[in-house]
A = this chain, B = another copy of it.
Amino acid sequence: MRTRASVMSAAAAAFQREGYDRSSLARISKASGMSVGAVTFHFSSKEELANAVDRKGRSVTLTTVEQACAEPGTALRRLIGLTLHLARLMEEDPWVSAAIRLARERPQVPAWSAVWLPTVNELLDLASENGELRAGTPVGDVATLVEHLTAGAEVHVMYHRTDDDHESAVERMARLWCLILRGFSVDPSGVEPVTD
């Protein structure tokens, strides 16, 4: 089983760095110090290997989501905490970052957000029931906001993975929540957009 784990690690690194199309079984085998034959003993195709990495990334994510849900505090506080955990995973966890890229590049696979979006919605329903949201707040809009903030974190991580002194995605997410919660316009209703 050690061989299988080494192949999966090498594959996750390749998928995250090069993407699905540019990663070949030959290169992944070389990176894991094994023959192509030894690799295909465990994974018959690149697709099967990608599926295994993807499952691992989703399973790591799900564990983190469950932990974030079990933290103390109001539902909205736990939701915000969850987004910081997601940002950390994107940045630090090799399985998760590979799974995110694999999901983007393989349209037949559900988006990575499918793992955590149901929990975001549950926490928001709870926040709404508990009176944590202002009257009239559409719960779905807050879920959409979380999706956009997370997408921004993903792009940030993608562009700055190799920089040594970039701001962490977690700090960036925390800054955004502070800005959003405090508000920043002196005339909010005067600048609201109107679409036809």
Contacts and interface: CB of A to CB of B under 8 A. Distances in A.
Contacts of A154: 151, 155
A193 B80 contact: yes
A188 interface: yes
A152 B150 CA distance: 8
A104 B101 CA distance: 12
Interface string A171-194: 111111111111111111111111
Interface in A144-183: 144-145, 147-156, 158-159, 170-183
A74 B22 CA distance: 47
Contacts of A19: 21, 105
B77 A191 contact: yes
Contact of A134 (B170, B184, B194): B184
A176 B144 contact: yes
Interface residues of A, number: 60
A134 B84 contact: no
Contacts of A186: 131-134
A47 to B, nearest CB: 16
Contact of A152 (B133, B148, B188): B148
Given A133-B186, A182-B134, A152 B142 contact: no
A180 B134 contact: no
Contact of A155 (B131, B151, B173, B185): B151
Interface string A1-43: 0000000000000000001011000000000000000000000
Given A80-B193, A191-B80, A144 B180 contact: no
A129 interface: no
Contacts of A69: none
